[in-house]
Amino acid sequence: MMIIETDRLTKSYNGRGGCRGITLQVPEGCIFGLLGPNGAGKSTFVKMLAGLHRPDSGRASVLGLPLGRPEARRQLGYLPELFRFQDWLTPEEVLRFHGQLGGLRPQETHSQDFRLRIRDSLELVGLSDAAERRVGGFSKGMQQRLGLAAALLLDPKLVILDEPASALDPIGRYEIRSLLKRLQGRGVTVFLNTHLLEDVEELCDEAAFLYEGELLASGPLRELLSGTGDNWRFRVGGWLPETLSELNDSSGNALLRLIDSDESGNAHLSARVTDREQAGYLCSLFIRSGLTLYESGPEPNNLEAWFLQMVKSRQGGIPQ
Ligand code: ADP
């Protein structure tokens, strides 16, 4: 089942900006990454999904219901890009307040059940030890985790997170990533707005790419990346200066590039290959040529190549 489906969804601000004609499907249970540079229209798009912006035209359904339905909103957790909690509140008070924003009566948010729910949410995001502290003393990472706890408080089936990790240091980002994986393990669908390519590469099953308000591509990450080919790296021993031209003469269309080599004959090489079989062929070629193969594997930055290729196809040149 598709948990989000949009059909030519469009929203501009007095005829400018926003996003245009976005047709997208998000399968239930996946981690979906909406990528694009700043100003691409990502926040505008998710605000429409969360019911905060009314589209100018187009249609969409979230959790099988048309946009803006309260029944769908109740099953949806949303973490906006820029939020701040009142400094003087404790996490428990923040979450109680969010329970009320989610439609609970004040006395319900003081019930034993709800207290347990608050405790679970804080535990899920790793804030149990800070439950009694004031939010004003929290680091950015802790505030972001509290934002996530608020988005997860009412057990949503779908969470929409707008740049959840952009203000965080590497440890904070690592923590958010592992939390999102845990959520997926619990059956929650995660829709992630981000310009952090590593997050998408590591987390997402599917992705879409927005640029200047338009959708340039969407689908399973593997399929999106398959068109770009893979960069493969090799580390070999027994290298001689003439080896490169000998190898390239017999390697077909995979052009090997020497990254570096040293006097004892160790070398790093890189090649653009169409699939794993071609990388395997290169490995056998090294061995047949008398080299020692120490290591081989894909380079991790294929998404970056794809991203640049997308932008280039729109601009007619790689951005400087
Ligand atoms: P992203 O989330 O990808 O950075 P946004 O959806 O925030 O992109 O913005 C897309 C475009 O719409 C930008 O050109 C931005 O300036 C414009 N925009 C966004 N929000 C508003 C607004 N409230 N009023 C006017 N223009 C806006």
> Using a 6 Å cutoff on CB, does residue 39 contact ligand 1?
yes
Strand positions, DSSP E, the chain: 2-13, 16-27, 31-35, 57-62, 65-66, 76-79, 158-162, 189-194, 206-211, 214-220, 230-237, 256-261, 267-273, 292-298
Q: What is the pLDDT of residues 260-295, one digit of tens each?
A: 899 999 999 988 887 888 889 899 999 999 999 999
Using an 8 Å Cβ cutoff, are 6 and 23 in contact?
Answer: yes
Q: Which atom of ligand 1 is nearest to the CA of 47?
A: 6
Q: What is the CATH number that goes with domain 1-75+156-228?
A: 3.40.50.300
**Strand-pair partners of 10:** 57
Mean pLDDT, all residues of the chain? 88
What band does 45 get if pLDDT is binned at 50, 70 and 90? very high
> What is the Cα–Cα distance from 258 to 284, expressed in whole angstroms?
18
Q: Name the residue ranges covered by the structural domains of the chain.
A: 1-75+156-228, 87-152, 229-300
Q: What is the pLDDT of residues 72-117, one digit of tens each?
A: 888 899 998 877 888 999 999 999 999 998 888 999 989 999 999 9
> What's the distance, CA 122 to chain centroid?
23
Q: Which atom of ligand 1 is nearest to the CA of 18?
A: 12
Q: What is the pLDDT of residues 7-36, one digit of tens each?
A: 999 999 999 999 999 999 999 999 999 998
Q: What is the CATH number that goes with domain 229-300?
A: 3.30.70.250
> Using a 6 Å cutoff on CB, does residue 20 contact ligand 1?
no
Q: State pTM to two decimals.
A: 0.78
> Using a 6 Å cutoff on CB, does residue 17 contact ligand 1?
yes
Residue of 44, 82, 192 with the most ligand 1 atoms within 8 Å of its CB, for mutation: 44
Cα of 87 vs centre of ligand 1, distance in Å, is 28
The better pLDDT of the pair 199, 42 is held by: 42
**Strand-pair partners of 207:** 33, 219
- Torsion on CA atoms 74, 9, 60, 180, rounded to nearest 10: -50
